[in-house]
Structure 1
Amino acid sequence: MSYGDHLVLDGIDLEVPRGQVVALLGPNGAGKTTTVEILEGFRQPSAGQVTVLGENPSTAPESWRSRVGVVLQSWRDHGTWKVRDLIEVMGGYYAPYATAAVPRPWSTDELLTRVGLATQAGGRIDKLSGGQRRRLDVAIGLVGRPELLFLDEPTTGLDPAGRRDIHDLVADLADLRTTVLVTTHDLAEAEKIADRLLILAGGRIVADGTPDALRHQLSRSSEVRWRDRATGQVTVHADADPTAYLAHLLSTRPGEVEVLEVRAASLEDIYLDIVRRSETDEHDGADLPTAALEALR
């Protein structure tokens, strides 16, 4: 995808099977929004082929759109609407596409209970808190029982309890074989809810795998930090086998080690390193996926 002479997406190759929860990660300007808008059918790519639920999103019929749910990062509507009324009106658009397999839409009461808004059903939208408003955004995206759901920063503005509710809801959707694509800046959230992580940098996918697989593939050493009891000197040692190093350290320096800490590379460490190296390689003209991954091995 190019905007004039500016190349935003450069050869993304991606396949997502049904029922998978995928988190799309990347720094600002990496191309996440453009990627999602192409998949949603809101943008036409400059080149390449895109198929979502068997259709080209940019030319798919209205019946295709009834199978897709979208939760935008922000949503504008009339604050004087009551929560229940808005959900019922939105659900009405999906009713003509109901089938025996997918009885659209959700029951309003069931949906509002699922997103934690049952007690606010009769209230006006402009009286909702920011977190409650975000729950309503999610309800709007889910009202048609979508086969595919796009979630753009779904827990923005939510307190810990609200975040947990949304995480649980995503898990429920996975059990229903709903495919979910989440964009988020929260690494802990991505690791918690996603089956698969995609890291986008410089317009390319530079890492793709489960959280555990990425951690195993890209992190080859742990950091051992210890302080000498007598001198107070702190030593930091990176080792692929921290257990063997610890055994050697404690056997050769008995009584000398005062403070000892072992720290494995976190998903955030890995993500930041991938992005940093990818951006550096982009300026150098190197191939992003190869350079980013090989530099970490």
Structure 2
Amino acid sequence: MSMEMKNGTSVQEFTLEGFPAVQHLGKILFLVHLLAYLASIAGSAVIVTITCADSRLQTPMYFFLSIFSFFECCFTSAVIPKLLVIFLLGKQMISFAACFIQAFVFVFLGAAGFLLIAVMSLDWYLAICKPLHYMTIMNLRTCHLLVTACFALGFTRITGLVVKVSQLSFCGPHVIPHFFCDLGPLIHLSCSDTRSVETFLFVLALCVLLTSLMITITAYSNIVITIIGLPSAKERQKAFSTCSSHLIVLSLMYGSCVFIYMKAKQVNRLESNKEAALVNTVVTPLLNPVIYTLRNKQVHQALRETMCRVKISD
């Protein structure tokens, strides 16, 4: 795919800058990021598999977690394999079509993921603060509707934005100062008037992030109030431990995305965005399976029983 320019030239590919300052450590960085990637994929795959295989985990909470884990697998797989190729082989070229497909998948899954986090926060709030009404509200139909809504909202909003960016003119340079095709760096490469597209990106990021963040903050605030009211000190300690772990990961996710997408153009430093993007694409996908599910006793028991069944069948 190519884009015809006003000056008669065409853009057929971009160059991903990656991390030129540490490119001499390419093989070491390749190994580190490969291990992190495989660990995050394995953790998410375990969650999805166990949730589907064990009837005791087929509850709204684990249903949302399995969908979120699947999103995480796709999210990291949209970015990390190309980064591994850059580290190992130094191949930084990416076609115009592949670049915009990567940008679409990354931003779409990111937006849908944040909306799903808000849904998961509401689910946990209902389970802890409204236990008597929980099963009535969070039935199977409601769960499917909420996931579909996250998917549909993310898809419809991001599609329009990516189409607008793809219609911009790119006269050069064609070097993207990033390790993957993100919309911000692509917009900065354009020689078109990008003010309307930048405003669209900012408003969209503001709506998705703030909506998700406000729902999450409200849900966790009510959860903390409920936890404080628990009669048992042991129960309070256990609940606060789980809650604080969630909040650490959520802070990394929201903080990195706010840093990347919600800055004015004149103070936007693309170089610093790469480090924030690494947190969002490498660190949090690695932590999420551990924080959200693999520390859970129900999951541990389901894993042990599954492993025992596998050994017996062998």
| Bigger relative contact order (CA 8 A; separation at least 6) | 2
**TM-score, normalisation: structure 1:** 0.25
> Which protein shows a greater Rg?
1
TM, length-normalised to structure 2? 0.24
More strand by share: 1
